Amino acid sequence: MSAAIIDGKEFAARVRARVAENVARLKADHGLTPGLAVVLVGEDPASQVYVRSKGKQTLEVGMASFEHKLPDDTSEKELLDLIDRLNRDPEVHGILVQLPLPAHLDSDLVINRIDPAKDVDGFHISNVGLLGTGQKSMVPCTPLGCLMMLREYHGDLSGMNAVVVGRSNIVGKPMAQLLLGDSCTVTIAHSRTRDLPDMCRSADILVAAVGRAEMIPGDWVKPGATVIDVGINRVEREGRNTLVGDVHFDSAVQVAGAITPVPGGVGPMTIACLLANTVTAACRANKLAEPEGLTA
C-alpha cells in the first residue's frame, strides 16, 4: 500500500486564495492594505530566492511588500534602527527578519526588538510565551502550516502520539506546543535521544525537522502513520542540484498512511501562513474582526 500524498502546494494555494479574499475585503471596507516587510542581511543565495518568492506572493494576494536588503557587514545598530522604523511605520503590519543572521549579529536581540504585534514569524519571546500558555499569539509559520495540514487530514488530533524530531526555536519547539494544544501526546526527540528509530515507530504523527537529508527511513515509520517532512536539504543527484527532505520518501511512502513531499509539502504552506499572519496582524492592529481559518 502506498501513502496518501498531502499536497502542500495545493493546500497553500487555497490558503492564499482565502488571504486574497480578506485583503480585498479590508481594502474595500476599511481602506486598509496589509503590508509585510522582509529584512535580509547578507548575500546567501538560498535566502535570496526565498525572499524573492515571498515578495512575489505578497503582491499576488494584494498586500504591500517592503524588501530591505542590507549588506553582510551591517552593524547591529543599523539593523536595530531599521526595525525601530518598521515598528513605527503604520503601513507595515508584519516584519520578518530572515534567519540565520551573519555571525556578528545577535539574533535574539534583533528578533526581540520587533514589535510583538508585527512579529509574523512568532519568534519574539512574548509570542513564544503566549503560545506556551495557550494564549492568543502570532504562531510561527512552518508549524502553523503543518498543523493546518494535520487538522485537515485527521480532523481531531486528540490522543494521538506525536513525535517531533528536532527542538529548534523556529520549528521543533513551537510544533510541539501546537500539537500539545490539540491534545496530542507529544515527544520531542533530538540528537541526544536514545533509540530514535524506536521512538519514531511509536508515532501516529511523525514530524521531521532535523536538516539531514533522508535520515528517517521507512522502517522507522509506524504503518499507517502521518509523516510531516519539514526538512529542506539541497543535494547533488545524478549531477543535478535537487531538494530532499529529512525523510527517505521512497521507503516511507510504502509504510505511512499519509506523507508530505519535498518539495511541494511544508515549504509552500510556510509562505502561505506568513501571508495569513500578516492579514491577522493587520486586523488586530486596526481592531477589526480576525478572518476565519487563518489562525491556529
Ligand X SMILES: NC(=O)C1=CN([C@@H]2O[C@H](COP(=O)(O)OP(=O)(O)OC[C@H]3O[C@@H](n4cnc5c(N)ncnc54)[C@H](OP(=O)(O)O)[C@@H]3O)[C@@H](O)[C@H]2O)C=CC1
Q: Which positions make up the binding site?
A: 166-168, 232
How many amino acids of this chain bind ligand GUE (CB under 6 A)?
18
Write the binding mask 104 to 143 for ligand GUE: x where contact by CB under 6 A, - elsewhere: -----------------x-------------------xx-
Residue 96 within binding range of ligand GUE, rule CB under 6 A: yes
Burial class (CB in 10 A: 0-12, 13-18, 19+), 155: exposed
The nearer residue to ligand GUE, 42 or 217, going by C-beta atoms, is: 42
Interaction partner, residue 87 (ligand X, ligand GUE, none; CB < 5-8 Å by kind): none
> Is 57 among the catalytic positions?
no
Binding-site residues for NADP(+):
166-168, 232
Residue 271 within binding range of ligand GUE, rule CB under 6 A: yes
Nearest residue to ligand X, scored by beta-carbon proximity: 168
Q: Which of 5, 20, 99, 213 binds ligand GUE (CB under 6 A)?
A: 99
The nearer residue to ligand X, 36 or 266, going by C-beta atoms, is: 266
> Is 48 among the catalytic positions?
no
Q: What is the CA radius of gyration of the chain?
A: 19
> Is 98 among the catalytic positions?
yes
What count of other Cβ atoms lies within 10 Å of the Cβ of residue 73? 10
Options 118, 119, 121, 177, the catalytic residue: 121
Q: Cβ contacts of residue 126 below 8 Å, gap of 6+?
A: 116, 119, 137
Q: Which residue type does 196 have?
A: L
State how far the Cα of 153 lies from the Cα of 96, in Å rounded to an integer: 29
Q: Can you tell me whether residue 247 is helix, strand or coil?
A: strand
Contact 268, 12 (CB under 8 A): yes
State how far the Cα of 267 lies from the Cα of 247, in Å rounded to an integer: 14
Q: Which residue type does 71 have?
A: P
Q: Which of 11, 50, 220, 249 binds ligand GUE (CB under 6 A)?
A: 50
**Residue 57 grid cell:** 506572493
Q: Which of 172, 174, 218, 291 binds ligand X (CB under 6 A)?
A: 172
What count of other Cβ atoms lies within 10 Å of the Cβ of residue 166? 23
Q: Which of 98, 127, 177, 295 binds ligand GUE (CB under 6 A)?
A: 98
The nearer residue to ligand X, 157 or 232, going by C-beta atoms, is: 232
Q: Cβ contacts of residue 256 below 8 Å, gap of 6+?
A: 3, 218, 221, 223, 224, 225, 226, 227
Phi, psi of 71 (to 5 degrees): -70, 160
Residue 166 within binding range of ligand X, rule CB under 6 A: yes
- Supply the minimum distance, in Å, between the C-beta of residue 108 and ligand X: 14
- Supply the minimum distance, in Å, between the C-beta of residue 287 and ligand X: 31
Residue 147 within binding range of ligand GUE, rule CB under 6 A: no
Contact 82, 39 (CB under 8 A): yes
- Supply the minimum distance, in Å, between the C-beta of residue 199 and ligand GUE: 25
Interaction partner, residue 196 (ligand GUE, ligand X, none; CB < 5-8 Å by kind): ligand X
Residues 184-213 that bind ligand X (CB under 6 A): 190-193, 196, 209-212
What count of other Cβ atoms lies within 10 Å of the Cβ of residue 28? 9
State how far the Cα of 93 lies from the Cα of 30, in Å rounded to an integer: 15
Residues that bind ligand X (CB under 6 A): 142, 165-168, 170-172, 190-193, 196, 209-212, 230-233, 266-267, 270
Residues annotated as part of the active site: 54, 98, 121
